[in-house]
Amino acid sequence: MLRIAIQNKGRLGEESVGLLSRVGIEIDTAKRKYLSKAINFPIEILNVRDDDIPGLVAENSAQLGIVGLNEVEEKGAKVNIVRNLGFGACRLSLAIPKREEYTGPEYFRGKRIATSYPRILRRYFEGLGIDIIPVVISGSVEITPSAGMADAIFDIVSSGGTLISNGLKEVETVMESQAVLVANPSLSESDRELLDEIEFRIESDRISRGMKYLLMNIPTESLEKAIEILPAMRSPTVLPLATPGWHSLHSVVESSQLWEKVRQLKAIGAEGILVLSVDKIIL
Ligand code: PRT
Ligand code: ZN
């Protein structure tokens, strides 16, 4: 049976369950156990700490996993990165006390840098030929400079609020990260087929999330202009209304462009505009 490892709680847990549910892999969240079977897809869900996911997938205890790219890189696990999943975005950055003057990466020569990501940190400075002193710590990295335990930190940043409230400033971004779907490199034929199906569904979900379905009535003389405003997947659907001189127009637009398109359509006489969410788009 194909098995997918996801974070049991934390920042990625809920989003991982949400993504699986949107692609038709439902888990009974009321009784989320260490190992549970999906209700409607031949897959088992393994709920674990995020640190364990790269290793479990590399050892084939789970064939798939959802985990931050930062964890995959740090563990150096032999897994295939199948795709980005568009959530859990963050970066791994170097930060120093804000009163310090930053002079470029040379600043860090001989400095103590606290981190939970020693492997990525070492690799970065080895690449630059700069010797540093890693101070490995598993949590609360941001307090180490003020506690006199380190001169700088190398940690995950998303909004940057934690750095600011600890009197630190971000000076180098070493890596961008987000949640990724990972797979064991030697999947069986049947697991490969299931992964293809999951990937196909994730892609449909991704496309549809940024789209809205638009329906409106449009005066027939404005039809051509309306079709120019709305570049649909092939072309918009146009249906004559019972009232002469009017048509109904259906199309799909990117959410980010919705209000601009609505403004343009109203300007050419569109009426009764309906905006609907798109559940899935299968191209
Ligand atoms: O218990 P378990 O080991 O499973 O969880 P964990 O505590 O190790 O991980 P968790 O749940 O905190 O994070 C899981 C993954 O979420 C990380 O590996 C990243 O890929 C991703 N992620 C995204 C983040 C953040 N954003 C983030 N902001 N992980 C941690 N943070 C921390 C950051 O270090 C800072 O201390 O959140 C704090 C707030 O960040 P700011 O910059 O918004 O203030
Ligand atoms: Zn963790």
Mutate to test the pocket of ligand 1, among 49, 158, 182 (most ligand atoms within 8 A of CB): 158
Residue 140 Cα, ligand 1 centroid: separation in angstroms? Answer: 11
Q: Which pLDDT band, with edges at 50, 70 and 90, does 31 fall under?
A: low
Residue at 14: amino acid letter: E
* Residue corresponding to tokens 């009163």: 99
Q: Is the CB of 158 under 6 A from ligand 1?
A: yes
Residue 156 Cα, ligand 1 centroid: separation in angstroms? Answer: 7
pLDDT at 46: 96
What token pair was written down for 148?
């006199």
Write the CA distances from 80 to 2, 36, 179, 182, 183, integer angstroms. 16, 24, 14, 5, 5
- C-alpha to C-alpha distance for 142 and 154, rounded to whole angstroms: 9
What token pair was written down for 159?
């909004």
Residue 48 Cα, ligand 2 centroid: separation in angstroms? Answer: 9
pLDDT tens, position by position, 112-154? 999 999 999 999 999 999 999 999 999 999 999 999 999 999 9
Q: Which pLDDT band, with edges at 50, 70 and 90, does 99 fall under?
A: very high
Q: What is the mean pLDDT of residues 229-251?
A: 88
Q: Is the CB of 6 under 6 A from ligand 1?
A: no
Residue 11 Cα, ligand 1 centroid: separation in angstroms? Answer: 6
Burial (CB count <10 Å: 0-12, 13-18, 19+), residue 183: buried
pLDDT tens, position by position, 216-228? 999 999 999 999 9
Q: Is the CB of 70 under 6 A from ligand 1?
A: yes
* Cross-strand pairs, 151: none
**Using CA positions, which residue lies closest to atom 7 of ligand 1?**
10
pLDDT at 283: 77
